[in-house]
Structure 1
């Protein structure tokens, strides 16, 4: 997901199910990603995920090695 998509949705915080759909991954994978990124906010029984933190965390996985793309 790029920042244009996020801005279109105009949301900074999402629930696990919505985030998983936005990033085209399973809910369990998104939950683990959010936990690894430390992007979770718990309000009583509700957990929200900060998309800004997720985007920043995902950038750490950017493959810049030219050999990968051959």
Structure 2
């Protein structure tokens, strides 16, 4: 019997197009595009642009409000 090969699965939603990402994050297309560009999470292949959601999520976390006064 041959040993099983371990296959590393790639997260299917690691990269998305602008329109898919805007829907996933519940925001407008232009706002998502600007956020992805600010995060430097874009990959361009000819006319196709993909956004790395892992990089984008890390960038979004930098905007977390930690001030207790905000939540009063």
Coarse TM-score class (shorter-chain normalised) = 0.7 to 0.9
Aligned-residue offset at 1:10:
3.6
> 3-state DSSP class of the match of 2:44?
strand
Q: Mapping of 1:44-55 within 5 angstroms?
A: 44-55=46-57
Paired residues, what number? 62
Using the size of structure 2 for normalisation, the TM-score is 0.83
The unaligned stretches of length 5 or more in structure 1 are 1-8
* Cross-structure match for 1:6: none
Using the size of structure 1 for normalisation, the TM-score is 0.86
Aligned-residue offset at 1:38:
0.2
> 3-state DSSP class of the match of 1:42?
strand
* Cross-structure match for 1:59: 61
* Cross-structure match for 1:42: 44
The unaligned stretches of length 5 or more in structure 2 are 1-10
* Cross-structure match for 2:14: 12
* Cross-structure match for 2:8: none
Larger fraction in helix: 1
